[in-house]
Amino acid sequence: MKAWPRMIKFVGSVALIRHPELLEEKWLARWNEREQSFGFVIAERLEGESYRACVDRQVSSTLRLRRGRDYIVSSVPRLHLDLPPGSVDEADETFYVLEFYVVDLYGAAALVTVDNDATNRWLTARELLSGTAIDGGKIESRLVTLLRRFEVFSAELWRTT
């Protein structure tokens, strides 16, 4: 009897971290040495965990910020996606279930903590959508595809930045 093919599935959340003073003009990305590109904080959802809770957990651990003190996660997602294999990248066999949450930093200490980490970079929507940071650093290709295809940023914002 032929076995069913194994389905690769990623269920999780993406953090859209806004600069506390520039709001939707700048978004926090992190350099991934293995991928050699910038990407957003992304969290895989654990069993029994909500999408919001998983992004909250990952922002805290990745950025070394205090939950409930240094940032706040929006109560509703900006976007929910169910994407079949091949919809993000033709060669990608992963089924994605993603929610995008806006995250706002608050307090001077949070901004200092984020800015003191050399892997973090504040990027404009234009840089993110173009796939290249102003200094030539690459933006993770799947992220660029999702941001473009599903208009995660308002159209007025990225046309003018």
User: pTM of this prediction?
Assistant: 0.87
Q: What's residue 4's pLDDT?
A: 55
Which superfamily, per CATH, for 8-160?
Nucleoside Triphosphate Pyrophosphohydrolase (3.90.79.10)
Q: What's residue 158's pLDDT?
A: 47
Write the pLDDT tens digit of every residue in 130-154: 999 999 999 999 899 999 988 888 6
Q: Where are the domains of the chain?
A: 8-160
Which residues are CB-neighbours of 16 under 8 A, at least 6 positions away? 27, 40, 78, 100, 101, 102, 103, 152
The ranges of the chain with pLDDT < 70 are 1-7, 154-161
